[in-house]
Amino acid sequence: MKKTELKLESGLVKALENESFNQLTVAELVAAAGISRRSFYIYYKDKYEFLYDVRSRILKGIKQAMEADRKVIEQFEVRRLQTDEEKYLSTHDEFYKLAVFINENSDMVRTLFSRNATIDFYRDFIDLLKEEITIRNSFHKITYGTMIPTRYAEEIFAGEIISTIRIWVSNHNKESMESIDEFLDILGKIQIISPYHLFRPIKE
């Protein structure tokens, strides 16, 4: 990205910490970015085009990262066994490049997830992920189980992955965020435990 675009993205992150995008003016955005209005209008006709451009960049990066992870899986031509151990161990290969991209863009991803962004980034992300999971399931020759309808199962599975990502990037202090390996360890465990296993009795 060009220097001006980088500054604008940084400015957007700062501005949306305290204000809704709907209320944000171009004057406030460029002030937070430290650039002139003239520089802004060289690239964008209005703030909506800018937000669309940012959203598109992040979603494109997410899609490319997931495709790159899939190529690693297909390269070894190893179909995952549906055991808890296999699911956990394969998480690093299946989501590594996605985790790297999210980590590198954590401030913007967190901002797009926020209410102040006023866009349904979660829905955009989950639709991409469900599409990717369908392709991978075809490679592994697996489908969703029969205990609940597929539309519920795929939404729950993709949703828990994205919710885990959302929690990961929610920390404003990047230095205290879990590392990529720590995040993938958590994501691997999340995929093999049921909500029931998240609870334990309190010792009295």
Q: pLDDT per residue over 46-75, tens digit each?
A: 999 999 999 999 999 999 999 999 998 888
Q: pLDDT per residue over 124-148, tens digit each?
A: 999 999 999 999 888 878 888 778 8
- The radius of gyration of the chain's CA atoms, rounded to the nearest angstrom, is 19
Distances (CA, A) of 14 to 11, 28, 34, 172, 186: 5, 10, 11, 11, 29
Residues near 32 by Cβ (< 8 Å), separated by ≥ 6? Answer: 10, 11, 12, 14, 15
pLDDT tops 70 at residue 37: yes
Question: Could you give the CA distance from residue 134 to residue 58 in angstroms, rounded to a whole number?
Answer: 21
- φ/ψ (deg, to 5) at 153: -60, -45
Structure tokens belonging to residue 167: 């929690």
Give me the pLDDT at residue 34, please: 97
Supply the mean pLDDT for the chain: 89
Q: pLDDT per residue over 139-192, tens digit each?
A: 878 888 778 888 898 898 899 999 999 999 998 777 778 999 999 999 998 887
Residues near 2 by Cβ (< 8 Å), separated by ≥ 6? Answer: none
- Does residue 73 contact residue 139 with C-beta atoms inside 8 Å? yes
Where is pLDDT greater, at 77 or 113? 113
Question: Could you give the CA distance from residue 180 to residue 184 in angstroms, rounded to a whole number?
Answer: 6
- Predicted TM-score (pTM) of this structure: 0.89
